[in-house]
Amino acid sequence: MNQRKEAEGIIQAVLEASNPELLVAKAVAELPPCEGRTILLAVGKAAFAMALAALTTPGFTAHRAMIVTKYGHANEKQLSALPESIRTILHIREAGHPISDANSYRAAEEAIAMVQNLTANDRVVLLLSGGGSALFEKPLLSADEMEDINQQLLSSGADIGEINTIRKRLSAVKGGRFAQLCAPAQVITIALSDVLSNAPDQIASGPACPDPTTCAEAKRIVTHYALNLSPQAQRLLDSETPKELPNASIQIIGGMTFALAAAASACAQYGYQVLLFQPHLTCQAREAGRFFGYLARKASRQGRKLALVAGGETVVNLGRHHGLGGRNQEMALAASLVLQGVPGVCFFSLGTDGTDGPTDAAGGMVDGDTVRRIAASDESTAQESLRIHDAYHALKAADGLLITGPTGTNVNDVCVALVDVGRKGNRSGKTMEEQLKSCIQD
């Protein structure tokens, strides 16, 4: 089996381990009985699969149900196969991601209307996954200003925690405020985490979770990244979010830890020695790509059969003018430049939700021949494409895009570098740990 086939097998193992259906079904089956009505709200890029898993779990009944997910993430074939009793109560709203749009705002308004006039005997089961920050929004500013602020945040280099600290204070549903709107009903959140720390308040900006961030932190972020906010937005930063929510609880059922364990296990089954990197990646995408490319290149010279496995959520600092791509594609393209001409290596970076940036690709896969294939296509060069953040077109020209379609899950990104130099063997006489240390030091 060649390395690209092995990489595809590893990707499949990651996605299977991150499939929310069994995890959600188990969590929903263990919920206590409800004396009143149950309202089901699923929000995020994995919302469709999570909602269907809950609605088809024996013994679980919802009075009303709503799914808010990304465009193209609802499966009409699966919907048509549902019993009429479920289709009758179910409403689906697809909306914008990574930037909120009119449907994001409409979805939040409809959800708020759905939870009005509930009693203490009723409950809201909130199925939450990554992407909810953009998909589910009721801004306290105009739509144009919110779009501008989101664009500033996404291109600033701020991490997701910093971004959410700002978003919570400009929203009527983030930072625990949606749970307040559901009161006195209980809100039970079942979450698939796309947050590296699994911090509950960071998953989709914590619509039903107490918010530990402060107004002072939000102001420091604005200053640090030189964000341009209107006087009204600046005043909203002084409005504190709820620190206690007696009507809300949360259970995290899956995340990056499970995905990385599956990747490592699959690599081992293909005969690779596995090095799992901790902590998770939060650096610039191109720097991470170069780092793993460099380690893979060094390991290949030492005759290793080695898999380097990591996960996280890297960032890309976009200039005013840029091409098309996403952080996983940029990471792969950066690795390809380091791996140019190196045999027996393969690197991929995957967005587990099936989408990477504003593209139809989940990420990128490269090897020692990728740079040559890009140049031969006359599309551009790998170096120039990386400079202008146009990884999508470069990788497409080299048959290096990962296309999975929407996966139904979302637990951050997974990257793997595979090194297999065949029969050369380990001629250095060093242990695996000694060789890795040598790679990093060199």
More confident residue, 8 or 434: 8
Is 98 in contact with 116 (CB distance < 8 Å)? no
- For 323, the 3-state DSSP assignment is coil
Residues paired with residue 413 on neighbouring β-strands, in sequence order = 312, 351
Closest CA to 229 of 148, 318, 144: 148
Residue length of the chain: 442
Give the pLDDT of residue 283: 92
pLDDT at residue 442 greater than cutoff 70: no
In the numeric block, which tokens belong to residue 370?
A: 């990728």
Res. 434 pLDDT band, cuts 50 70 90: low
- Measure the CA–CA gap between 104 and 109, rounded to whole angstroms: 9
Contacts of 271 (CB under 8 A, 6+ apart): 305
- For 21, the 3-state DSSP assignment is helix
Per residue in 211-240, is it b (16+ CB within 10 Å) or e — as a string? bebeeeebbebbeebebebeeebeebbeee
Q: In what helix (H) or strand (E) does residue 414 lie, and over which residues does it extend? A: strand 413-420
pLDDT at residue 431 greater than cutoff 60: no
Give the pLDDT of residue 407: 87
- Strands in 160-271 per DSSP E: 186-192, 248-254
Give the pLDDT of residue 161: 82
The mean pLDDT value for 326-335 works out to 98
- Measure the CA–CA gap between 69 and 130, rounded to whole angstroms: 10
In the numeric block, which tokens belong to residue 300?
A: 């290949």
Strands 248-254 and 273-276: unpaired
Quickly tell me which residue has 């500033």 as its tokens: 152
Q: In what helix (H) or strand (E) does residue 439 lie, and over which residues does it extend? A: helix 432-441
Render pLDDT for 103-162 as a digit per residue (tens, 0 to 9): 999 999 999 999 999 999 999 999 999 889 899 999 999 989 988 998 899 888 888 789
Render pLDDT for 257-306 as a digit per residue (tens, 0 to 9): 889 999 999 999 999 999 999 878 989 999 999 999 999 999 998 888 99
Give the pLDDT of residue 178: 98
pLDDT at residue 42 greater than cutoff 80: yes
Angle at 324 between CA 321 and CA 330, to 5 degrees: 105
pLDDT at residue 429 greater than cutoff 70: no
pLDDT at residue 184 greater than cutoff 80: yes
Q: Which domains does the chain have, with CATH numbers?
A: 3-13+257-441 (3.40.1480.10), 19-254 (3.40.50.10180)
62-66, 85-89, 97-101: which has the minimum mean pLDDT? 97-101
pLDDT at residue 242 greater than cutoff 50: yes
- For 280, the 3-state DSSP assignment is coil
The mean pLDDT value for 341-349 works out to 96
For residue 149, the tally of other CB atoms under 10 A from its CB is: 22
Angle at 349 between CA 4 and CA 78, to 5 degrees: 85
- What does the mean pLDDT of the chain come to? 91
Q: What is the DSSP annotation of 42-97? A: EESTTHHHHHHHHHTSTT---SEEEEEEETT-S-HHHHHTS-HHHHHHEEEEEE-S
CB-facing half-sphere around the CA of 232: CA atoms within 13 A = 9
Render pLDDT for 367-423 as a digit per residue (tens, 0 to 9): 999 999 999 998 789 999 999 999 999 999 999 999 999 888 888 899 999 999 873
**Long-range contacts (CB closer than 8 Å, 24 or more residues apart) made by 56-60:** 56/25, 56/82, 56/86, 57/24, 57/25, 57/28, 57/29, 58/29, 59/29, 60/28, 60/29, 60/31
